[in-house]
Amino acid sequence: MNLLVLAAEEPQNPLIPPLPELVIGLIAFVIVFGFLAKKLLPNINKVLDERREAIEGGIEKAEAAQTEAQSVLEQYKAQLAEARHEAARLRQEALEQGTALKEELRAEGQRQREEIIAAGHAQIEADRKAASQALRQDVGKLATDLAGKLVGESLEDHARQSRTIDRFLDELEAKAEAAR
């Protein structure tokens, strides 16, 4: 085969654009440009924006979560401090109450002791008074009895007199023994 037969026409200047090729070239480019500019690139731009927003949203969410965690932590810390404070306060209060109670009990004990002592004293006094009363009556009676006996018997004999007195005293002692 001969090259010259293959190309029937003379080769023209390669720098002069043939019109049909120019037209087809422009059409081909317009097809590409049209699809990309009108449909496909807006599509991807939308998604790229969404992606950026998603990433930024994620960061914001994480930041919010961190802030919340921080605030919760602070809240817990505050609560804990408050609880500790409360416990200390309660302990202090209990201590104070305990001391007061002890004090009160001691005072009460003192008071009761004194009361008992006073009651004992009063009792003793009363007993003594009663005894003294009884003794006075008895002494009077005994004195009368003794006088009667002395009068009834002869007073001339000094020996008899002293015997009588001795007897009286003996009786008195015996009475005191019996009374005890």
Q: Kindly list the residues in this chain that would bind another protein in the complex (CB under 8 A).
A: 1, 3-4, 6-9, 11, 14-22, 24-29, 31-33, 35-37, 39-41, 43-44, 46-48, 50-51, 54
Q: How far is the C-alpha of 79 from the C-alpha of 83, rounded, in Å?
A: 6
Our CB check for another protein shows the closer of 17 and 109 to be 17
H/E element holding 95?
A: helix 41-152
Residue 116, phi then psi, degrees to nearest 5: -60, -45
Q: Which lies closer to another protein via its Cβ, residue 30 or residue 139?
A: 30
Q: Provide the minimum distance between the beta carbon of 5 and another protein in the complex, in angstroms, as a whole number.
A: 9
Of 138, 130, 132, give the one whose Cα is nearest residue 168. Answer: 138
Instruction: Specify the residue, 32 or 151, whose C-beta has the smaller distance to another protein.
Output: 32
Q: Which is nearer to another protein, 51 or 106 (CB)?
A: 51
Q: What's the closest the beta carbon of residue 76 comes to another protein, in angstroms?
A: 37
Least separation in angstroms between CB 64 and another protein: 21
String of DSSP letters for 29-84: HHHHHHHIIIIIHHHHHHHHHHHHHHHHHHHHHHHHHHHHHHHHHHHHHHHHHHHH
Q: How far is the CB of 29 from another protein (least distance, A)?
A: 5
CA distance 133 to 126: 10
